[in-house]
Amino acid sequence: MRALREMSIGSVAVYSDVDRHALHVRMADEAVAIGGAQSSESYLVAEKIIAAARATGAEAIHPGYGFLSENAAFAALCEAEDIVFIGPPSSAITMMGSKTAAREVAKRAGTPIPPGTESALSGAAEATEIARTIGYPVILKAAAGGGGKGMRRVDREEDIEGALRDATSEAERSFKSSEVYIEKFIVRPRHIEIQVLGDMHGNMIYLGERECSVQRRHQKVIEEAPSPFIERHPHLRREMGEAAVAAARAAGYWNAGTVEFLADERGAFYFLEMNTRLQVEHPVTELITGVDLVKWQLRIAAGERLSIQQEDVQLRGWAMECRLYAEDPDNNYMPSPGEITALALPAGPGIRLDSGIYQGWTVPMEYDPLLIKLAAWAETRDEVVARLIRALEETHIGGIRTNIEFFLDVLADPEFQAGDLHTGFLEAWFLRRKGHQFSDAELATARAVAELSAREGKAKTPAVTATRSKWKEVTLR
Name all domains of the chain by residue range, CATH numbers in brackets: 2-88+469-476 (3.40.50.20), 115-184 (3.30.1490.20), 190-455 (3.30.470.20)
Residues designated as active site: 277
**pTM of the predicted structure, to 2 decimals:** 0.84
pLDDT tens digit sequence for 318-334? 999 999 999 998 788 89
Q: What digits encode the pLDDT tens for the residues 376-411? A: 999 999 999 999 999 999 999 999 999 999 999 999
Distance CA 75, CA 465 (A): 15
Asked if pLDDT for residue 279 goes beyond 50, the answer is yes
If one counts every other C-beta atom within 10 angstroms of the C-beta of residue 404, the result is 19
Is the pLDDT at 33 greater than 50? The verdict is yes
- Average pLDDT of the segment spanning 128-132: 95
The predicted-structure confidence for 73-85, as pLDDT tens digits, reads as follows 999 999 999 999 9
- Produce one character per residue of 131-166: b if its CB has 16 or more CB atoms within 10 Å, e if not: beebeeebbbbbbbbbebbbbbebeeeeebeebbee
Please report, rounded to a whole number, the percentage of residues in the chain having pLDDT higher than 70: 90
Mean pLDDT check: name the lowest of 4-18, 111-125, 280-294.
111-125
The lowest-confidence range among 113-117, 204-208, 231-235, 395-399 is: 113-117
Residue 466, pLDDT above cutoff 70:
no
Residue 336 pLDDT exceeds 50? yes
What pLDDT score was predicted for residue 441?
A: 52
Signed CA dihedral, 169, 175, 176, 181: sign only = negative
> How confident is the model at residue 474, as a pLDDT?
53
pLDDT bin (cut points 50, 70, 90) of residue 434 is low
pLDDT, mean of residues 227-242? 97
Task: Flag whether pLDDT at 430 surpasses 90.
Answer: no
Question: Long-range contacts made by residues 124-127, C-beta under 8 angstroms, separation at least 24?
Answer: 124/160, 124/161, 124/164, 124/165, 127/160, 127/161, 127/164, 127/182
Supply the pLDDT for residue 145.
73
Rounded to whole angstroms, the Cα distance separating 245 from 186 reads: 23
- Looking at residue 25, its amino acid is V
Three-class HEC string of the chain: CHHHHHCCCEEEEEECHHHCCCHHHHHCCEEEECCCCCHHHCCCCHHHHHHHHHHHCCCEEECCCCCCCCCHHHHHHHHHCCCEECCCCHHHHHHHHCHHHHHHHHHHCCCCCCCECCCCCCCHHHHHHHHHHHCCCEEEEECCCCCCCCCEEECCHHHHHHHHHHHHHHHHHHHCCCCEEEEECCCCCEEEEEEEEECCCCCEEEEEEEEEEEEECCEEEEEEECCHHHHHCCHHHHHHHHHHHHHHHHCCCCEEEEEEEEECCCCCEEEEEEECCCCCCHHHHHHHHCCCHHHHHHHHHCCCCCCCCHHHCCCCCEEEEEEEECEEHHHCCEECCEECCEEECCCCCCEEEEECCCCCCEECCCCCCEEEEEEEEECCHHHHHHHHHHHHHHCEEECCCCCHHHHHHHHCCHHHHCCCCCCCHHHHHHHHHHHCCCCHHHHHHHHHHHHHHHHCCCCCCCEEEECCCCCCCCEEC
Residue 387 is predicted with a pLDDT of 98
pLDDT at 406: 94
